[in-house]
Chain A
Amino acid sequence: MIVEASDLRRDFVVRRKAGRLRRTRDVVAAVDGISFSIGAGECVGYIGANGAGKSTTIKMLTGILVPTSGTVRVCGLDPVRQRTSLARRIGVVFGQRSQLWWDLPLRESFRLLAAIHRLPALQWRDRLDECVALLETGPFLETPVRQLSLGQRMRGEVTAALLHSPELLVLDEPTIGLDLLSKERLRAFLARERRERGTTILLTTHDLPDIERLCDRILVVDHGRMAFDGTLPGLIERVGAERVLIIDLMEPEPALFDVPGTTLLQVEAGGLRQHLAFRPEQTTAAEVVAAVSARVALRDLAVTEPDIEDVVRRLYQP
Chain B
Amino acid sequence: MPLIAVRPAAVLAGSGFRRWSAYRQAAIAGIFVNTVFGVIKLSILLGVADSAGGRVGGYDEVGLSTYAWMSQALIAVVVLFSWTELADRVRTGDIAVDLARPVDLQLAWLAADIGRAAWALLSRGVVPILFGAAAFGFRVPRDPTAWLLLPVAVTLAVAVSFACRFLVNLSAFWIIEVRGPVTFYVLVSGLLGGHLIPVQLFPEWMQVLAYATPFPSMVQSPIDLVTGQAAGSEALLLVTVQLGWAVLLLGLGRLVLRRATRRLVVQGG
Contact = CB atoms under 8 A, between A and B. Distances in A.
Interface string A255-297: 0000000000000000000000000000000000000000000
B269 A85 contact: no
Nearest to B102: A87
A59 B267 CA distance: 11
A66 B36 CA distance: 50
B60 interface: no
A117 B19 contact: no
B52 interface: no
Given A94-B269, A116-B12, A118-B8, A64 B103 contact: no
A116 B102 contact: yes
B18 interface: yes
A103 interface: yes
B15 A112 contact: yes
A84 B104 CA distance: 8
B7 A144 contact: no
A65 interface: yes
B254 to A, nearest CB: 14
Contacts of A111: 11
Given A55-B269, A64-B266, A99-B97, A115 B19 contact: no
A105 to B, nearest CB: 9
Q: How large is the interface on B (under 10, 10 to 19, 20 to 34, 35 or more residues)?
A: 20 to 34
B22 interface: yes
A136 interface: no
B101 interface: yes
Interface string A51-88: 00001000100111110000000000000000111011
Interface of B: 5, 7-8, 11-12, 15, 18-19, 22-23, 92-94, 96-97, 99-104, 108, 261-266, 268-269
Interface of A: 12, 55, 59, 62-66, 83-85, 87-88, 92, 94-99, 101, 103-104, 108, 111-112, 115-118, 144, 172-173
16 contacts: A64-B261, A66-B262, A87-B100, A87-B103, A94-B96, A97-B94, A98-B94, A101-B15, A101-B19, A103-B19, A104-B18, A112-B11, A112-B15, A116-B8, A116-B11, A118-B5
- Please list the 10 inter-chain residue pairs (A to B) with the smallest Cβ-Cβ separation, ordered nearest first: A115-B11, A87-B102, A96-B269, A88-B102, A64-B99, A103-B19, A99-B97, A103-B22, A92-B100, A115-B8
